[in-house]
Amino acid sequence: MNYCALVVSLSVLYMFAERGLAQVSPAAPETPRETSSPLQVASPAPPGARSPFLGGVPAGPVSSTPVALSLADAIARGLRQNLGLTLGKEGTRTAQAARWLARSGLLPNVFARVADSPMQINLQAYGFSLPGVNPIVGPFNVFDARLYATETLFNASALHTARSGEQNLQAAEYSYQDARDVVVLGVTGLYLQAVSGAARVDAARAQFTTAEALSRRAADLKSAGVVPGIDVLRAQVESQAQQQRLIFYQNEFEKQKLSLARAIGMPVSQEFTLADRVGYTPPPSMTLDEGLKHAFESRADYRSAAAQLSAAESTLRAARAERLPSVAVDGNYGAIGARPWNSHGTFSAEVALNIPVFQAGRTRADILQADSLVAERRAAIEDLRNGIEQDLRTAFLDLGASGRQVQVAQSALELAGEQLKQSEDRFAAGVTNNIEVVQAQESVATANENYISALFAYNFAKASLARALGGAEKMYLQFSGGAH
């Protein structure tokens, strides 16, 4: 979980960029590239296994009234109900248990014991044998009620072990925060996918309406003897192709909503609408150097890795301290006698200096193992530093490229609309057949798809930049200027 950032930035962001300006086939609409879930790659999972970040723990009753779901609401629900985050919280509790276990070597241990023991003994078994004396003593009764206590006064190894437990708990808490950032990025990506899906449905519906109108116009012109029958057939084929595209995108949109609902812990049977349509807002004004400084101060996975390194170094010091003497006190106080009402108080106290002399290589093995762990974590944190810089550079590159793509795609969409209008006028005037119109319709469909995909890429690039900087929820809402 600490290295989720290394895979997030390689996610779905530009998987659809390979499409270039390829035209969408009217007979079989092309699946949008970003339909693969951002949460699918947000957390490492065994091959064939479903990432827990794709699931959620459903909460709340199902309402018959559709819920208006904003991006902020979706993020808040994900942070409460996402399955991966729930499991991460339990991991923090496990680290808390490990911390208490590590502390136990320094804390006092107190326990009580009450015993009532009838017994008979044979003195010969203990080496006592007197002529004429019966070696069998008893039966007799012994009652003993006693409080025992032990306390370590000095144990360097236990002290460093306790510090290691504290640092491991801190690392687990940072890992949990990192998991929250992963959920924020993933839920944002799923919401943006659904927004793109809704935009595709709207565009496909508008194109289908236009195709139907052109088909009726072609039929009217044929009835008037202006155009041949082939133009009517061509218009009908285009109308059915646009209808097929509309059906496809409607189905994809509903599936995207199901994926979003499951990831945020909303019952999948709950109907909801998207309250936000995340559009284009200016990119954040931040330089790469400023971003790197912020990331190394704020990234939870980096701080977790640093805490893990500190914990490993404390474990190494604890292993080396196994060679040092330790001091402990033991004592007890209680009452002993034949019966509870016939007993007398007794006590004992002891201060012991324990000096390790020979431990059959165990200390050396502990030192070698701990030293190896320190080396591994130092290498990992250096790699993570490099990875954070790569994440930031990639996010800045993607943000710049996708921003320019949005501008080009918007211009292309306007030109395609003008082209369609002129081709309709030329066809209505009888200057040309409707091949130009069909081609112009496909140009509009392609331009719409390119604009929607570029806008998704741009907004997801901003979300990835927020994730790369650390504190994804606050940073993305700041970058987006608030969804609308």
CA distance 376 to 369: 11
CA distance 176 to 2: 9
CA distance 11 to 190: 12
Determine the residue type at 133: V
Percent of the chain with pLDDT over 70: 89
Mean pLDDT, the chain, rounded, equals 83
Q: DSSP readout, 149-197?
A: EEEEEE-HHHHHHHHHHHHHHHHHHHHHHHHHHHHHHHHHHHHHHHHHH
Helix axes 83-103, 71-81, angle to 10 degrees: 40
For the chain, the domains span 4-110+156-326+361-480
pLDDT mean over 342-358 = 90
* Straight-line distance from the first to the last Cα atom of the chain, in angstroms, rounded to the nearest whole number: 32
CB atoms near residue 34 (< 10 Å): 25
Coil, helix or strand for 474? helix
Q: Specify the pLDDT at position 195.
A: 93
Determine the residue type at 295: A
Q: Specify the pLDDT at position 260.
A: 93
Q: What are the φ and ψ backbone dihedral angles of 431, each rounded to 5 degrees?
A: -70, -35
Q: Specify the pLDDT at position 372.
A: 95
> Cis ω on the peptide bond leading into residue 38 (within 30° of 0)?
no
pLDDT tier at 475, thresholds 50, 70, 90 = confident
pLDDT digits (tens, 9 = 90+) for 253-291: 999 999 999 999 899 889 999 988 888 888 888 888 998
Residue-wise over 359-393: b if at least 16 C-beta within 10 A, else e?
A: eeeebeebbeebbebbeebeebbeebbebbbebbe
Q: Is the pLDDT of residue 295 over 50?
A: yes
> At which residue do the structure tokens 């795609």 appear?
409
Indicate yes or no: pTM above 0.75.
yes
Residue 265 contacts residue 82 (beta carbons within 8 Å): yes
> At which residue do the structure tokens 């604890």 appear?
318
CA distance 262 to 190: 11
Q: Specify the pLDDT at position 42.
A: 46
| One-letter-per-residue 3-state SS of 209-245 | HHHHHHHHHHHHHHHCCCCCHHHHHHHHHHHHHHHHH
Instruction: For strands 272-274 and 67-69, give the pairing.
Output: parallel
Q: Specify the pLDDT at position 22.
A: 33
Q: Is the pLDDT of residue 248 over 70?
A: yes
DSSP 142: E
CA distance 209 to 203: 10
| One-letter-per-residue 3-state SS of 104-118 | CCCCCEEEEEEEEEE
Instruction: For strands 342-354 and 326-339, give the pairing.
Output: antiparallel
CA distance 319 to 364: 8
Q: What are the φ and ψ backbone dihedral angles of 230, each rounded to 5 degrees?
A: -65, -30
Q: DSSP readout, 289-337?
A: HHHHHHHHHH-HHHHHHHHHHHHHHHHHHHHHGGGS-EEEEEEEEEEEE
Range scoring the smallest mean pLDDT among 43-47, 115-119, 376-380: 43-47
Q: 446: closest CA among 152, 30, 6?
A: 30
Q: Specify the pLDDT at position 197.
A: 92
pLDDT mean over 58-76 = 87
CA distance 475 to 467: 8
Residue 157 contacts residue 175 (beta carbons within 8 Å): no
CA distance 174 to 172: 5
Q: Specify the pLDDT at position 49.
A: 58
pLDDT digits (tens, 9 = 90+) for 17-58: 333 323 333 333 444 444 444 444 444 444 455 778 888 888
CATH superfamily of 4-110+156-326+361-480: Outer membrane efflux proteins (OEP) (1.20.1600.10)
Q: 58: closest CA among 259, 269, 267?
A: 267
CA distance 387 to 239: 49
With 0-12 CB in 10 A as exposed, 13-18 as middle and 19+ as buried, what is 294?
middle
DSSP 255: H
Range scoring the smallest mean pLDDT among 190-194, 216-220, 268-272: 216-220
CA distance 52 to 316: 34
pLDDT tier at 374, thresholds 50, 70, 90 = very high
Tokens representing 60 are 């709340």
Q: Specify the pLDDT at position 285.
A: 85
Q: Is the pLDDT of residue 16 over 60?
A: no
Q: What are the φ and ψ backbone dihedral angles of 10, each rounded to 5 degrees?
A: -100, 20
pLDDT digits (tens, 9 = 90+) for 388-424: 999 999 999 999 999 999 999 989 989 988 888 888 8
Q: Specify the pLDDT at position 27.
A: 36
Q: Specify the pLDDT at position 87.
A: 85
**Edge-to-edge order in the sheet of strand 342-354:** 109-122, 136-154, 326-339, 342-354
Residue 274 contacts residue 65 (beta carbons within 8 Å): no
Q: Is the pLDDT of residue 6 over 60?
A: no
